Structure 1
Amino acid sequence: MMPVARSRLLVAVIIAIIYLALVHYLFDLKVIISQWRELPASTLMLATAGLLISYLLRAWRNHNFFALDHFPTSIRLTLIHNALNHWLPARTGEFSFPLLMKRYFGHGYAGSTHGLLWLRLMDLHALAGTALPVFYPFLNTALFFLLLTAWLASMPLAFWLLGHFRQHILANPSDKRLATMMKKAVNELTGSKRTFFIAWLLSMTNWTVKICLLTLLVTAFVTVPATAALTAVIAGELTSILPIHAPGGLGTYEAGMSAAFTLFSIDFKSGLQAAVQAHLFLLNLAIISAVFALLIPKKR
């Protein structure tokens, strides 16, 4: 393991230990574990199945968007990248994506990085879409539908801008290193409307599934209205796609959820405990799925 990677892993482990110690201090780990034992098996199975479906949707999106030629390897790549992105600090786990794309499929670093940026923009757009219903009670009908129209129009506009960006880069006659690299990168980006909008639909489906399952899980741990749980989950997930966060989002995820709960006059400690439980579920399943991903056969 490279010294930098080893130091990042060490930081992640230290922060995870501090996080667990803080959880034990605030709630007692026995209480946390007992809540999981009391959780109905049907709820746990439904939440687990939902998150696994979310992983498969993300793998399908990568497979479609980058025109990959071996779906099992796409699943392997997605699960490993997901775990690294969860646990490495300051979103450095994102750097694993172009490395894994190069290793498993031979894709260039520039094209994979630019493609990942577009997928992250789709994630942000999809998450904003799941948040729209939360604002409906607070807005007049005309303003809500104006926001909805703007949201729906923004992705076709993004595709149009992507097309013009491709044309501009490819029309550049320069043969300098940067220009050549940019041309190679845009050639690896999809120019297909069908591919682009399938990726968008998969992003929407993925986030809808994930937000619903986490809302279900949160309401199983704390008695709150579904609207409050939904708002808290969206706030927590928004922190997970910020440019900077702690390893595993430890602390930032809980802060986002707890802040949202206070808007509904939910007891801070109860909201924080539910946030911890939801986050532990995500982190544990990310690690377990990454371990199983190593058993998936790679493309030959």
Structure 2
Amino acid sequence: MTDTKQLPPPTSSSKPPHWFSKVWPWLIVLLFVLGVEYWLGWKNILQPWASLSWKQLLIAVVLLLVSYGLRTWRLYDYFPALRPYPVACLRLTLLHNVFNNLLPARTGELSFPMMMKRYFEINYAQSVSALLWFRFLDLHCILAFAIYPLLVVTPLRRLAIPIILLWMLIPPLVYLLRHRVELHFAGKTGRFSALAQQTLFGLPDSMLSFLKSWALTWLNWLVKLLTLAWVLDQFIDGVTWNVLITAVVAGELTSVLPLHAPAGIGTYEAGIIAALLPFLAPAIASSAAINLHLFVLGSALIGGLVGWLLPKPKL
């Protein structure tokens, strides 16, 4: 019988250093900036902005701010405790948006329950559940904008309308069958089960509240996606609105990735480029994607500045 040697337990040296987890996102940003300068040149990429009038840019920025206002309305309508504080509610939405856009790996989402607790004394369970419900509606809406354009360019185009109608039934069915779904997940363990239970906990109390949150979600994304598609169209030629919407949706979908660099740099562009590559040269698609992302980040920063200037609630 041969002796077997027991392997030593792994030491902390086998794990990446603690500082590396904080540095690598910013390293990706640096590599992205340098890579763009090497392959395309920032001067060439930013040149199309010179042909845009300030009126066009102002209208586009205002429309994005309108979408933030619709998002605020959804939050304001969902929580009765926020009714006396509409301005503070807008402040929270604008700051949450800028944190979500700039911080890496979805850490910006943590600002929502923290500010809800700080500003309005709403506990974490309520705010996190509401946020999950809002994100469910957001994802469902964004995917609807992706499904239809993709179907109409395939042999399944005749089924595009029936499929999208079936897709639209998901939120009301979830709401109507929420008690059965809750019973299905009750007592079950696992990450998905816990996520489902917490999301169901965040559903509105009445059908009217549900319809309001759903309608405001659609209004928000209609304004935002159409605005972004129009801005993207300013940087490219010869592309249909179907392609523009698909590209914008692809970029927005990357924002749900669990890991990405600060401000979504690299991943946001990759989503847009992937949708544009069948129709445009790589350099043109890359330049347009970068410029659109700069517009999104710039608008978020303007909204964040406005939110920072707004007064905090006085409870």
Whether these two folds match at TM > 0.5 is yes
**What is the RMSD computed on CA atoms of the aligned residues?**
2.8
Q: 1:144 aligns with which of 151, 160, 168?
A: 160
Q: Structure 2 matches for 1:204-219, cutoff 5 A?
A: 204-219=218-233
2:225 is the counterpart of 1:225: no
2:209 alignment counterpart:
195
Measured after TM superposition, the shift of residue 20 of structure 1 is 2.8
Q: 2:47 aligns with which of 17, 27, 34?
A: 34
Cα distance in structure 2, aligned partners of 1:168 and 1:142: 35
Q: Contact (CA 8 Å) 2:203, 2:210: kept in 1 or not?
A: no
Aligned residues: 284
1:241 alignment counterpart:
256
- Cα–Cα, structure 1 residues 20 and 184, in superposed 2: closer, same or farther, change >3 Å? closer
Query: Can you list the C-alpha shifts for 1:36-89, whole angstroms capped at 9, x where unaligned?
Result: 122133331221121111111111111112232211111111111111111111
Q: Contact (CA 8 Å) 2:145, 2:246: kept in 1 or not?
A: no
Measured after TM superposition, the shift of residue 148 of structure 1 is 1.9
1:129 alignment counterpart:
144
Deviates further, 48-57 or 32-41: 32-41
- Decide which structure has the larger Cα Rg and report it: 2
Measured after TM superposition, the shift of residue 25 of structure 1 is 2.4
TM-score, structure 1 normalization: 0.84
2:77 alignment counterpart:
64
Cα distance in structure 1, aligned partners of 2:302 and 2:174: 36
1:299 alignment counterpart:
313
**Runs (4+) of structure 1 moved beyond 4 Å?**
6-15, 139-142, 163-169, 183-189
2:293 is the counterpart of 1:272: no
1:74 alignment counterpart:
89
- Helix, strand or coil for the counterpart of 2:204? coil
2:57 is the counterpart of 1:44: yes
Measured after TM superposition, the shift of residue 140 of structure 1 is 4.3
Q: 1:258 aligns with which of 273, 281, 293?
A: 273
Instruction: State the percentage of identical aligned residues.
Output: 37
Measured after TM superposition, the shift of residue 30 of structure 1 is 2.1
- Helix, strand or coil for the counterpart of 1:90? coil
The residue identity in structure 2 corresponding to 1:244 is L
Q: Which runs of 5+ in 1 are unaligned?
A: 1-5, 173-182
Query: Can you list the C-alpha shifts for 1:88-131, whole angstroms capped at 9, x where unaligned?
Result: 11111111111011011111101111111111110011112222
Query: Can you list the C-alpha shifts for 1:259-296, whole angstroms capped at 9, x where unaligned?
Result: 111233x1111101100000011112212221221111
The residue identity in structure 2 corresponding to 1:50 is L
TM-score, structure 2 normalization: 0.81
Q: Contact (CA 8 Å) 1:163, 1:191: kept in 2 or not?
A: no
- Helix, strand or coil for the counterpart of 2:313? coil
Cα distance in structure 1, aligned partners of 2:45 and 2:253: 24
